[in-house]
């Protein structure tokens, strides 16, 4: 987090256990705002610990947005009513000034309007790569999908809670993961979001080798920085102006 702090004003976490419960306090020490996440899975006992730790951090004044679940509906780990109940549990236990939401792919919200209704802000994930879209059409596709979610969300703010492009791995349809394509997508997306004042989080800070097991070789190559915390060649284009 010390590595990324000079580049951003917000950070986003994905769980509140196994050391990740320390993310909000570290963010505060570094002057960052934090969207802190309770990871929701099919393990109800673990969900209870995740939620408890998120509530504790929020009540300690360390959380700016409370996220309950990350693609939990996409994975079918819980039902929509179960997830909404978890969100309500968190909302009732923390200050009303802290927005509560869940994060999922944009199509999940379109298909489940009750999730939009249950969210104070809408945290949608957009991945042209996983949709098999070529890099030449990626931003056009993302913008169209974003506008669909904005329309469905009414007066609620839509935050792009995840997007990115891997720098290596397998092609998905017309989507090819290369260093050049990853650099181009990062530059185009960050420029578009910045110029249009669209709140967004970029996935992700660092390469994570463990993701190969669930995602294939591309799983290890989503970072702006590599696993040694070195900014990848060309990835600094947006930050360099």
SS3 178: coil
pLDDT of residue 224: 97
pTM > 0.85: yes or no? yes
Which tokens go with 41? 């899975």
Nearest-angstrom CA–CA distance, 64 and 3: 21
Q: What is the pLDDT of residue 150?
A: 98
Say what the pLDDT of residue 71 is: 98
Which pLDDT value is given to residue 200? 98
Strand pairing partners for 172? 175
Q: Which pLDDT value is given to residue 230?
A: 96
Per-residue pLDDT of the chain (241 residues; tens, 9 = 90+): 999 999 999 999 999 999 999 999 999 999 999 999 999 999 999 999 999 999 999 999 999 999 999 999 999 999 999 999 999 999 999 999 999 999 999 999 999 999 999 999 999 999 999 999 999 999 999 999 999 999 999 999 999 999 999 999 999 999 999 999 999 999 999 999 999 999 999 999 999 999 999 999 999 999 999 999 999 999 999 999 9
Q: Which residues contact 42 (CB under 8 A, 6 or more apart)?
A: 77, 78
DSSP per position, 66-124: EEEEESTTTTTSS-HHHHHHHHHHHHHHS-TTS-EEEEEEHHHHHH-HHHHHH-SSEEE
Taking phi first (over 0 means left), then psi (-120 to 50 degrees means alpha), and beta for anything else, what does residue 32 get? beta
Q: What is the dihedral of CA 37, 227, 180, 234, to 10 degrees?
A: 100
Give the model's pLDDT for residue 49. 98
């Amino acid at each position: 987090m010390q590595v990324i702090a000079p580049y951003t004003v917000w950070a986003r976490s994905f769980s509140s256990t196994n050391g990740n419960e320390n993310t909000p306090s570290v963010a505060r020490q570094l002057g960052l705002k934090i969207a802190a996440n309770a990871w929701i899975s099919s393990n109800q006992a673990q969900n209870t610990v995740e939620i408890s730790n998120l509530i504790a951090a929020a009540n300690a004044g360390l959380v700016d947005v409370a996220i309950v679940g990350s693609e939990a509906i996409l994975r079918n780990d819980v039902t929509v009513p179960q997830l909404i109940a978890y969100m309500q549990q968190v909302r009732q236990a923390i200050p009303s000034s802290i927005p509560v939401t869940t994060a999922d792919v944009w199509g999940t919200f379109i298909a489940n309007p009750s999730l939009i209704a249950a969210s104070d802000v809408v945290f949608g994930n957009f991945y042209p790569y996983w949709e098999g879209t070529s890099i030449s059409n990626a931003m056009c596709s993302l913008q169209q999908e974003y506008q669909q979610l904005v329309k469905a969300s009414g007066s609620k703010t839509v935050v792009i809670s995840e997007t990115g492009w891997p720098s290596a791995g397998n092609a998905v349809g017309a989507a090819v993961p290369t260093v050049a394509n990853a650099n181009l997508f990062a530059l185009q997306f960050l420029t578009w979001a910045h110029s249009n004042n669209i709140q967004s989080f970029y996935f992700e800070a660092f390469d994570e080798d463990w993701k190969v097991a669930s995602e294939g070789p591309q799983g290890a190559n989503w970072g702006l920085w590599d696993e040694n915390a070195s900014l990848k060649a060309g990835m600094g284009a947006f930050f360099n102006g």
